[in-house]
Amino acid sequence: MLDFGNFYQLIANKHPQNDLSSWLEILPAQLATWQKENLDSRFSHWLNSIEHLPSVTTPLRLDLLHGVSAQTEPALSTGEQQRIEKLLKTMLPWRKGPFDLHGVYIDAEWRSDLKWDRLLPHIDDLTGKTVLDVGCNSGYHLWRMVGAGAKLAVGIDPMALFLCQFEAVRKLLGNDQRAHLLPLGIEELPKLEAFDMVFSMGVLYHRRSPLDHLLQLKNQLVKGGQLVLETLVIEGDEHQALMPGDRYAQMRNVYFIPSVPTMINWLQKCGFGDVKMVDLSTTNQNEQRTTAWSTEQSLTDFLDPNDASKTIEGYPAPMRAVFTAKK
Ligand SMILES: C[S@@+](CC[C@H](N)C(=O)[O-])C[C@H]1O[C@@H](n2cnc3c(N)ncnc32)[C@H](O)[C@@H]1O
């Protein structure tokens, strides 16, 4: 079983600007229920792998500013590296990375560092901030938020695999307590109004009701806090959004992909101010591809083999935009 006690302790004290203590009224019960419902043989296997990872101690060289990497001095032996690699490979697929941990390079399906590099110049300074990353997956961006100065980075993602990947990485980073992942969906959060910045990246189009998603994000922000939202977008005017049929780029759970003006309209309708689109990019195979750490199909398999501007279903190929907005 995973123990969230460190996080509970961290938030127990009332803080004038970022008070998360009221969360303790429901969080322990929610997480206990989640563990009971998710404790199957795979989850137990992953927990066992985490347990067998070495507890790395200082002196430890961490770099969370240029990537997510850790190395002891002297470096771990080849035998120890191989053992770490074998344990981490019990948690395939690694979707978001890369991580460079004691000579083991987790080359995940997504180069999440590229997304981070695109958005970082356009968002508020993270120094000293308390931040929330909704749909954080393995937690790659949580560590980058810490590297950029965040005091506390909290991620939520309901999937057991991603929680285990996060805890494995945390252990190899020397049990760093500046980031925490809670296995929850955004819809399970009370109105905390305690985060200086809230990130929702790659989540909006998976939500059945995008406007409710935006309001749920707003509920987590302090007054004046910043939302950083990244989503798939289509070309079009402020009245257009794509609601795909059964699948979009082979994904079943895609509901609405807005145009950039529609996304701005949605944010403004939800009461956000200072709404800006700060980056627009087309996803390519440099950023999303099959690797030894994620061997399933990837971007090239999701595009029309004769026309890369279309998905295999005939929709516009994935294009992504980053928006910032203030509460
Ligand atoms: C496309 S991934 C994006 C991961 C990461 N934020 C990024 O931008 O690379 C979407 C993530 O959202 C998570 N997710 C799905 N439904 C969610 C919900 N209701 N609340 C929070 N996270 C959710 C998924 O498990 C998945 O890890």
For the stretch 18-74, pLDDT in tens is 999 999 999 999 999 999 999 899 999 999 999 999 998 766 899 999 999 999 988
pLDDT of residue 90: 98
pLDDT at 287 over 70: yes
How many degrees, rounded to 5, is the angle at CA 178 between CA 9 and CA 225? 95
CB count in 10 Å sphere of residue 270: 20
* CA-wise closest residue to 289 among 121, 45, 97: 97
pLDDT tier at 265, thresholds 50, 70, 90 = very high
Q: Tell me how far apart the alpha carbons of residues 244 and 286 are, in angstroms, rounded to a whole number.
A: 25
Of ligand 1's listed atoms, the one at least distance from the Cα of 162 is 27
Which protein residue has the closest C-alpha to ligand 1 atom 15? Answer: 135
Q: Tell me how far apart the alpha carbons of residues 152 and 304 are, in angstroms, rounded to a whole number.
A: 42
Q: Tell me how far apart the alpha carbons of residues 217 and 197 are, in angstroms, rounded to a whole number.
A: 10
204 lines ligand 1 (CB under 6 A): no
What distance in angstroms lies between residue 306's CA and the mean position of ligand 1's atoms? 30
User: What is the secondary structure of 160-203 as a DSSP string?
Assistant: HHHHHHHHHHHHHTTS--SEEEE---GGG------EEEEEEES-
Q: Tell me how far apart the alpha carbons of residues 202 and 259 are, in angstroms, rounded to a whole number.
A: 15
Q: Would you state the torsion angle of the CA atoms of residues 93, 61, 82, 160, taken in this order, to the nearest 10 degrees?
A: -30
159 lines ligand 1 (CB under 6 A): yes
95 lines ligand 1 (CB under 6 A): no
For the stretch 98-147, pLDDT in tens is 999 999 999 999 999 999 999 999 999 999 999 999 999 999 999 999 99
pLDDT above 70 as % of the chain:
99
